[in-house]
């Protein structure tokens, strides 16, 4: 029996494009995934940041409290006493290292001057740079005596630039003179060794002075 042409056929031929359609990328879904994903991520990040910010606030408050506690535990008077003591010690040490002593210079001059030379005045002036200048006037029994004194000063390393000037001969042949010299710093400043010497020198200071008194004023 022939089928009338008006009756629709149930047969739908498969087209070749169907397989292509199934394997095609779903742009819509991907876009939706991207959009929703970004939104969710943004929300999570915002929430996390809010929580982190809150956490940092509490940490800061705790640290500030600790810091205030530490600050109040600092006793400023104790700190000042430490600073004062440190300054006291360091300045005392500094001043002691430059402490001026002239005894050694007097002892040395007395030991160098022959008995035929008499110093009538001695002046030692120091500058702020701790350089000491010796100025002296005196008289010698003869030029030879003065030469001996000059030679002794020249050989002494702690007395530098010894210059005799104002030489004059008196009625009885005595030679008057003026002397200027620079004293080495080691001769005029305190040292531990000189302190050790001095600890035992006080009783003998008189003896030294007696010996030197014949030459020095």
Partner 1 sequence: MNRMLPAAGLVLAFVVFFIYISPTYSGPVTTIQATIAREQLALNAAASFGDKQKTLAEEKNRITPEDIARLETLLPSSVDNVSAILSLTALAARSGVQISSISVPQPTQGAGDVTTPPTEVGSIDMTFSATGSYQAFRTFITGIEHSTRLLDVTNLTVKGSDTGVYGYDMTVRLYWLR
Q: Rule CB under 8 A: which of 26-45 touch partner 1?
A: 28, 31-36, 38-39, 41-43, 45
Using the contact rule CB under 8 A, the part of the chain among 3-11, 13-21, 64-72, 167-175 near partner 1 is 64-72
DSSP string, the chain: -PPPTTSPPS--PPPTHHHHHHTS--HHHHHHHHHHHHHHHHHHHHHHHHHHHHHHHHHHHHHHHHHHHHHHH--HHHHHHHHHHHHHHHHHHHHHHT-B--HHHHHHHHHHS-TTEEEEEEEEEE-TT--EEEEEEEEESSHHHHHHHHHHHHH-TTEEEEEEEEEEE-TTSPEEEEEEEEEPHHHHB--HHHHHHHHTTTTTHHHHHHHHHTT--
User: Among residues 51, 59, 163, 196, which is the contact residue for partner 1, using CB under 8 A?
Assistant: 59
Nearer to partner 1, 52 or 169 (CB): 52
Inter-residue contact 105 to 124 (CB < 8 Å): yes
Tell whether residue 147 is a contact of partner 1 (CB under 8 A).
Answer: no
Tell whether residue 53 is a contact of partner 1 (CB under 8 A).
Answer: yes
User: Among residues 100, 163, 167, 169, which is the contact residue for partner 1, using CB under 8 A?
Assistant: 100
Using the contact rule CB under 8 A, the part of the chain among 1-9, 13-21, 140-148, 205-213 near partner 1 is 205-213
Q: Taking CB under 8 A as the rule, which mask of x and - marks residues 101-120 in contact with partner 1?
A: xxx--x-----------xxx
Nearer to partner 1, 17 or 72 (CB): 72
Nearer to partner 1, 43 or 163 (CB): 43
- Shortest spacing between CB 32 and partner 1, in angstroms: 4
Nearer to partner 1, 30 or 163 (CB): 30
- Give the span between the Cα atoms of 183 and 158, in whole angstroms: 6
Nearer to partner 1, 4 or 206 (CB): 206
């Amino acid at each position: 029996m022939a089928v009338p042409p008006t009756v629709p056929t149930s047969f739908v031929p498969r087209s070749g494009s169907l397989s292509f359609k199934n394997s095609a990328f779903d742009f819509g879904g991907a876009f939706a995934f991207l959009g929703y994903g970004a939104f969710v991520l943004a929300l999570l990040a915002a929430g996390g940041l809010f929580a982190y910010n809150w956490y940092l606030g509490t940490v800061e408050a705790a640290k500030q409290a600790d810091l205030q506690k530490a600050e109040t535990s600092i006793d400023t008077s104790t700190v000042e006493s430490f600073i004062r003591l440190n300054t006291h010690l360091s300045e005392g040490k500094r001043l002691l290292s430059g402490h001026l002593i002239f005894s050694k210079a007097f002892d040395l001059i007395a030991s160098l001057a022959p008995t035929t030379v008499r110093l009538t005045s001695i002046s030692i002036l120091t500058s702020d740079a701790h350089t000491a200048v010796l100025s002296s006037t005196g008289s010698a029994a003869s030029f030879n005596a003065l030469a001996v004194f000059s030679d002794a000063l020249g050989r002494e390393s702690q007395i530098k630039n010894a210059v005799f000037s104002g030489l004059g001969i008196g009625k009885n042949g005595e030679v008057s003179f003026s002397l200027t010299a620079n004293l080495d710093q080691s001769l005029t400043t305190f040292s531990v060794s000189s302190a050790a010497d001095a600890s035992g020198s006080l009783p003998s200071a008189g003896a030294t002075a007696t010996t030197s008194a014949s030459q020095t004023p």
